[in-house]
Amino acid sequence: MLVKPDGFFGVTMAIEGVKDSAVLMHGPEGCRKNLWALTMKVFPRRDASVNMRTPYYMGSPRIPCTDLESCDYIYGAYDRVFDALQHVKERDPGLVAVVCSPGASLIGDDCQKAVDECGLSDKALILDADLSSKPINVGIDLTLRRAVEKLAPPVEKKREGTAVLLGNHVLQKDWESVNEEMSRILGLMGIEVICCLGAGSTVEEIRRSSEAEFAVVICPEYAIETAELYREYGAVTVVPDLSPIGFEATDAWIRLVSEKTGRGCDAALGYVDGIRRRAYRRMLAARFDTDAFKFCIDAEPSICYPLARFFYDNLQMVPACLRYDGVSYPPAENLMKEFLGRIGRGEALDGDVPDYVEILCTDGNTADMYMRSRHCLRGVDLRFPSMMNTEFLPQPLFGAVGALYILERVVNRF
Amino acid sequence: MLQIAIYGKGGIGKSTTSSNLSYALAGKGLKVLQVGCDPKHDSTKYLISGKDQTTVLDYIRSTAPSERKLEDIMVTGSGGVMCVEAGGPEPGIGCAGRGILTTFDTIEKMGIADIEKDVVLYDVLGDVVCGGFAVPMRNEYADAVYIVTSGEFMAIYAANNILRGLLNFGTSRPRVAGLILNRRNVDNERELVERFAKGVGLPIVADIPRSKEYIEAERLGKTVSEAFPDSVPASIYRLLADDVDSIRAGSRPLYIPHPLSDDQLNDLAAGKEIAVLGDFTRVSCGCNRIRRGTGSCASRGAVFAAGRVNDLPIIIHGPASCGYVMSHTQDVHFLTEMGTNPNTVGILRNNISSTRMSNDSSIFGGHEDLMRIIRSEAGKGKRTMMVITTCVPGMIGDNLDLIKKRAEGEFPGLNLVVVKADGNLTGGSEEGRLMAMKAIISFIDENLKPTEMECNLIDDNFIVYSSGRNGEWTERLMGMLGFSKVHKIIDNVFLDEVVGCKKNILNVRTFDDPTVNGMADVMAEEKGMRIFEDPLPKGYSETLAWVEKVGKEYGLVERAAEASETIKREYAAALERHRPFLEGKTADIIAGILGDDDWIIEVLLDAGVRIKNLFVLRMRMGGGRGPGPAFKSRYADKLNVREMSNPMEVKAAVEEDAPDMVVGGVMIGWHGQQFKEFSRDYQCFTHYASIEYLDYMHTMMTSAPTMGWRSWGGADDGGAAVGPAVQKPMRITQAQIGAIKSRMGGIVPPRMEAALNAMKEGRTPEGVPPEMIGMIKTMTGGS
């Protein structure tokens, strides 16, 4: 996939990641259709009160749409926003977001007025398309920050030993298992996760998230602004340079959490070690030859670097092409530059994907396409999950179990 | 703090009025911020000695958000007035209205609210009344609105338009302060404006004469109030400042606008008495019909069609999200084909790119974004490429003809094909597909003669054809007739194959469908290709007739006769094998989205299945506007045909029927109802589809009664928290429970057991997913 989801998708999917939210797409149905399919794929929800005839929902319980037509761009479509909001309101969601498509943003309909007149001011956000074509992580991060500002005012009294988990999102590979894995690790450090922001938590959980003593980030690109907000709220924030991907980076992440929160990390490190030993035993039995395999990774810098190191250090694989697709995170980017220079592979950064590469780590559909067209031996689905495949077994990308997922994808041939 | 907006026709003197008023307000000791909302960015010019200042929109193009500082775009002018200019694109490109929206958003983020001020004054271009320029009118901005006008009719017309705009922002609180007459010395000027003011129910709060002192003050780079404080205009601006102060103090009224109708305006211009005031009715587009979704936009349709030429670079001119949606859709379709059709060869196309138009591009135009991508593709040696526009360049008026000329001039030999799909401004997916198809058909070499015993299939998407085994069967049938190869026009082909396709003898449409027919017409009319009259045949008897007709028309009578014998033999053998298992079974049919189910009906009847009802769902034609085409079937007078428009109605009727099988039930299966759904009607081409369907029905009839997984979930699984349906408790009897258990072979999951017990007692079962309730309802025939 040459074109990746952008900030506009990020804005919408950030809200869709809140369990009892509702996004009203102000725009043509074409803008909504793919988002609807995506959200039903990654976070399916049923709503028996929505049927094929419910106005603006058009047969789907998620992402109702004002369904703009050409004349609406000329005459404006305020009435449609107002009317659609009435239908959204009937379902009593905890959070409403009116997301204007890039085209609708040019009309300038007064969505705030519609929200106010519908009596939704206390739970509605108006989200413009100004993040269109910006990186998706910016859209997710800024939108979740706005949601928290709206729903969860700061509280003075913190609940000891609790955390809000940041930097996971519903377009992440098996995000539910990521929540479970990282909550398990934090639990072993005596930290209880009370909210997984943007990754399945409810509005009520978000409301209570300002009581969290800690704000712990998994993938920093998606949570710089939100982490900063929780810091302003008085939470101890843990923002890593690298995401916990692969055993080594997971160990480092645990140590960082321990250092910032003052919680012991022996049990968590022991858990990772147990899984590492399991991986070792499986590797003894595996029929594989990854030495001198070339790999390409298309991912955020904080994922790309530790994953490259995981392959390089543990499987003797060599980077052929590493891309961030417009996402920037200097701490990880600097580490990557230093690493590639040291091993004499500087040209891999931002290089073209070769015609054939053994291992390709990227979004789900592209991984599938490359494998099916025999342009790679194994594709590893990192995010924007494959529309064709469904994870039945837990397959988190992060943490100790995440390392197993990566090994399973890389080592096995079928 | 008071926020006021000064509106008026372009060139009427808004900026002069605004800057003089700001200066006068500052002279009263007030802290004033003036925001110029005109792309020509000269509102505050004479407050800052005639100099240019950095506009907000220029600033955000060059400065990262983290580095932005308010002082970089805010200049302190005469009298301490704080000056900000929005700026905007060059005339003729981009969208200045979008620029105003962005300016307000940006200065808000930069902390303008934290600056201490008593009055904010917005100077707004008012004869352009798009949503962007109307932003200062919104309730959260202007507390009071002044409208500058002269006695010229166009100025009065613009003033009236502004009042109409204000009306659209509500009448809950009065916000119009009055008219400012800035004289142009036209005949009876005061009288005309007074008549207008009376008509709309507003006062004239200032009457400013023309004066040579303005020209002299401009020469000095100052406002007339500063340069000539004792002049008549300066004294009037001070009085106007007093008026603003009265509004601040709440000591003078504001007004609700009563704009004139067009007829009333004509009366005013003609010097007639203005007819009785009526409420101005808001203009709407008149599209009051119920909408039910356009499906996709024309751009997506165009990309979908053009993307099937493997080596044609496609540039989507629009935001990255459009590019993602369209390329993602392509990937999913290709992967779906690969997943359902073992014969599909995976081809990595990677031929779609996006100009990634940003908010900035929406304001300043997307020409440079597009040229950047064209240059990149040309640099890779590409000499044919297609640009498909989305709604954003369509709305801001990017000139694609100009870009084509520029690009082809820059790269000799480049053929840049432009498809102006413009999102949904030109229509839905079908329109877009046809636009792209026409562009691709233009590549066909019309000088070739049909000489090869090969076949071109014509379709705009090949979604159905590429699913399951349709392709394999079609090739087998063509082989029986002597055609050695099948080309898909246009799917999974290279440009050369398209260019040379006229040399193939047989041209066949896959469907009798408006878009496919449109394509075929273009191929026939513009390229002189002979299109076979009948589309690809579906099912047994249609295939027999089709083969015979091809035989006659193309001189293949003997081959056709042999093929017919094979077809009859193969179908008869399949019937003999499967009929014993199907005979006497009952079925309901829900007419499928393809709207042509005769071949399935034929199979059912041949297999001895009794059809209880044929439901025609009138909203089934997804994607198009308006009702679907009238239902046609050669069995219409032999079956009980029931037309319905609501899927829930169909669902209820099928429940009542309780047939052994529901053909095409997927439409209502979406709603959680449990049926044995016979949905595989997409494998429809040739008599092999009938043979396969017999086997499919036989297999399905021996499968378990329901999909058990539907009962695995809990009530809160998947976020049922949003608006759970209110359902009445359903009561069932012990006998019904016994029947259910028997039907399930005596094995009932514990949660279902608990649900059954609760229902027996008339309680609402707790923690039971709707699917399980639906299953129980189906098995009991309850409601």
Residues of B in contact with A114 (CB under 8 A): none
Residue B595 is predicted with a pLDDT of 56
With 80 as the cut, is the pLDDT of residue B73 above it? Answer: yes
User: Is the pLDDT confidence value at B649 over 80?
Assistant: no
Kindly list the residues from chain A whose CB atom is less than 8 angstroms away from the CB atom of residue B109: none
Q: In this predicted model, which residue has the larger pLDDT, A60 or A362? A: A362
Interval B709-721 mean pLDDT: 55
Q: What is the pLDDT of residue B267?
A: 86
Instruction: Report residue B679's pLDDT band, with 50, 70 and 90 as the boundaries.
Output: low
pLDDT-based confidence at residue A92 (cuts at 50, 70, 90):
very high
Distance CA B778, CA B673 (A): 8
- Would you state the pLDDT for residue B673? 47
Told to judge if B596 belongs to the known catalytic residues of this protein, a careful annotator would answer no
- Residue whose structure tokens are 């008495």: B273
Which residue bears the tokens 């377009």? A171
3 state DSSP class of B419: strand
Of B127, B245, B398, B596, catalytic: B127
- For residue A193, what pLDDT is reported? 98
Q: What is the mean pLDDT of residues B734-758?
A: 76
For residue B122, the model assigns a pLDDT of 92
User: A4, A8, A70: which to substitute to probe chain B, counting the most B Cβ within 10 Å?
Assistant: A70
Could you tell me which residue, B773 or B349, shows the higher pLDDT? B349
- Nearest Cβ partner of A5 from B131, B134, B324? B324
- H or E element in which residue A377 lies: strand A376-383
More confident of the two residues A23 and B666: A23
Check pLDDT > 80 for residue A365: yes
| Predicted-complex ipTM score | 0.90
CA nearest to B598, candidates B539, B656, B543: B539
B722 with A128: Cβ contact below 8 A: no
pLDDT of residue B88: 83
Tell me the mean pLDDT in the region B179-190.
Answer: 90
pLDDT value for B106:
84
Q: pLDDT per residue over A159-194, tens digit each?
A: 999 999 999 999 999 999 999 999 999 999 999 999
Q: In this predicted structure, what is the pLDDT of residue A60?
A: 83
Indicate whether B178 pLDDT > 90.
yes
Whether B14 sits among the annotated catalytic residues: the reply is yes
Run of H or E including A115: helix A111-117
Contact between residue A102 and residue B423 where contact means Cβ atoms under 8 Å apart: no
- Hey, is the C-beta of B64 within 8 angstroms of any chain A C-beta? no
Q: How confident is the model at residue B626 (pLDDT cuts 50, 70, 90)?
A: very low
Q: Is the C-alpha dihedral spanning B604, B606, B612, B616 positive or negative?
A: positive
Q: Which amino acid is at B715?
A: A
Looking at the predicted structure, is the pLDDT value of residue B719 above 50?
A: no
Cross-chain Cβ contact B299/A1 below 8 Å: no
Residue of B533 and B751 predicted with greater confidence:
B533
Contacts made by residues B492-498, CB under 8 angstroms, sequence distance 24+: B492/B308, B492/B310, B492/B345, B492/B347, B492/B462, B493/B308, B493/B309, B493/B310, B494/B309, B494/B310, B494/B311, B495/B309, B495/B311, B495/B312, B495/B384, B495/B443, B498/B309, B498/B440, B498/B443, B498/B444
pLDDT score, position B163 = 87
Given this model, what pLDDT does residue B312 score? Answer: 94
Tell me the pLDDT band of B710, cut-offs 50, 70 and 90: low
Is the bond preceding B208 in cis, omega lying within 30 degrees of 0?
no
Q: Which residues from B are below 8 Å from A74, CB to CB? A: 285
Tell me, yes or no, if B40 is annotated catalytic. Answer: yes
Give the per-residue pLDDT at B718: 42
Using CB atoms, pick whichever of B319, B335, B423 lies closest to residue A8: B319
> Considering chain A, what is the average pLDDT of its residues?
93
List the one residue out of B383, B261, B377, B366 whose CA is nearest residue B317: B366
- Is B9 considered catalytic here? yes
Across B63-92, average pLDDT = 87
Cα torsion for B467, B471, B472, B474, to the nearest 10°?
140
Distance from CA of B46 to the nearest CA of A (A): 30
DSSP output for B257-294: --PPPHHHHHHHHTTPPPPPP-PPPPP-----SPP---
Contact yes or no for A3 and B320 at CB 8 A: yes
Give how far B57 is from chain A: nearest CA, Å: 13
Q: What percent of chain B has pLDDT over 90?
A: 46
Mean pLDDT taken over chain B: 84
Q: Which B residues in the span 97-116 are in contact with A, Cβ-Cβ below 8 Å?
A: 97-98, 100-102, 105
DSSP code string of A75-112:
H--HHHHHHHHHHHHHT--SEEEEEE-HHHHTTT--HH
Please report, as a single letter, which amino acid is at residue A71.
Answer: C
Predicted local confidence at residue B618, as pLDDT: 67
Answer whether B299 sits within 8 Å of A30, measured CB to CB. yes
Average pLDDT over residues A385-398: 89
Domains and CATH numbers, chain A: 7-134 (3.40.50.1980), 155-273 (3.40.50.1980), 286-411 (3.40.50.1980)
CATH numbers and ranges of domains, chain B: 2-269 (3.40.50.300), 298-441 (3.40.50.1980), 452-536 (3.40.50.1980), 565-701 (3.40.50.1980), 712-717+725-780 (no CATH)
pLDDT band at B725 (very low <50, low <70, confident <90, very high): very low
CA–CA distance, B393 with B355 (Å, rounded to integer): 11
User: What does DSSP say about strands B75-76 and B82-85: parallel, antiparallel, or unpaired?
Assistant: antiparallel
- The pair of structure tokens assigned to B300 is 């997506």
Q: Best interface-test mutation with A: which of B168, B281, B328, B352 has the largest number of A CBs within 10 A?
A: B328
* Tokens, residue B471: 């392709």
B106: nearest CA partner in chain A? A130
Rounded CA-CA distance B129/B100 in Å is 12
* Model pLDDT for residues B482-517, shown as the tens digit of each residue: 999 999 999 889 999 999 999 999 999 999 988 899
pLDDT over threshold 80, residue B678: no
**Inter-chain CB proximity B391 and A73 less than 8 Å:** yes
Contacts of B725 in chain A (CB under 8 A): 47-49
Which carries the bigger pLDDT value, residue A59 or residue B537?
B537
Q: Using the predicted structure, report yes or no on whether residue B723 has a pLDDT greater than 50.
A: no
Mean pLDDT of B133-144: 80
On whether any CB of chain A is under 8 Å from the CB of B79, the answer is: no
Banded pLDDT at B289 (limits 50, 70, 90)? very low
In this complex, do A73 and B169 lie within 8 Å of one another by their Cβ atoms?
A: no
Q: Report chain A residues whose CB lies below 8 A from the CB of B97.
A: 106, 108
Higher pLDDT, B93 or B537: B537
- Measured between beta carbons, which residues in chain A are less than 8 angstroms from residue B347? 373
Size of interface A-B (CB pairs under 8 A): 256
In chain A, residues with a C-beta closer than 8 Å to the C-beta of B626 are: none
What confidence tier does A325 reach under pLDDT thresholds 50, 70, 90? confident
Q: How far apart are CA B133 and CA B128, in angstroms?
A: 7
pLDDT at B668: 56
| H or E stretch at A323 | strand A318-323
**pLDDT 10s digits, A210-236:** 999 999 999 999 999 999 999 999 999
Confidence of residue B672 (pLDDT cuts 50, 70, 90): very low
Which of B95, B334, B646 lies closest to A53 in CB terms? B646
- Cross-chain residue pair A4–B102, CB shorter than 8 Å: no
Of the pLDDT bands very low, low, confident and very high (cuts 50, 70, 90), residue B721 is very low
The two tokens of residue B277 are 């005031």
* 3-state SS, residue B455: strand
Which of A70, A75, A106 has the CB atom closest to B362's CB atom?
A106
Q: Are B468 and B493 in contact (CB under 8 A)?
A: no
The band of B131, judged by pLDDT with boundaries at 50, 70 and 90, is: low
Global pTM reads 0.79
Check residue B286 and give its pLDDT.
47
Per-residue confidence (pLDDT) for residue B722, from 0 to 100: 38
Q: Rounded distance, CA B125 to CA B134, Å?
A: 9
Reported as half-sphere exposure (CB side, CA atoms, 13 A), residue A25 has a value of 31
Distance in Å, alpha carbon of B40 to nearest chain A alpha carbon: 20
pLDDT score for A372: 86
pLDDT at residue A111, rounded to an integer? 93
Q: Are residues B651 and B588 in contact, defined by beta-carbon separation less than 8 angstroms?
A: no
Cβ pair B423:A103 closer than 8 A: yes
- Note the pLDDT of residue A151: 97
- B28, B31, B40, B741: which is the annotated catalytic residue? B40
Say if residue B624's pLDDT is above 60: no
Which of A156-170, A348-362, B319-333 has maximum average pLDDT?
A156-170
Check whether B316 has a pLDDT greater than 80.
yes
Distance CA B598, CA A405 (A): 49
Average pLDDT, stretch B643-655? 77
CA-CA-CA-CA torsion for A304, A305, A310, A316, nearest 10 degrees? 100
Is the link from the previous residue into B691 a cis peptide, with omega within 30 of 0? Answer: no
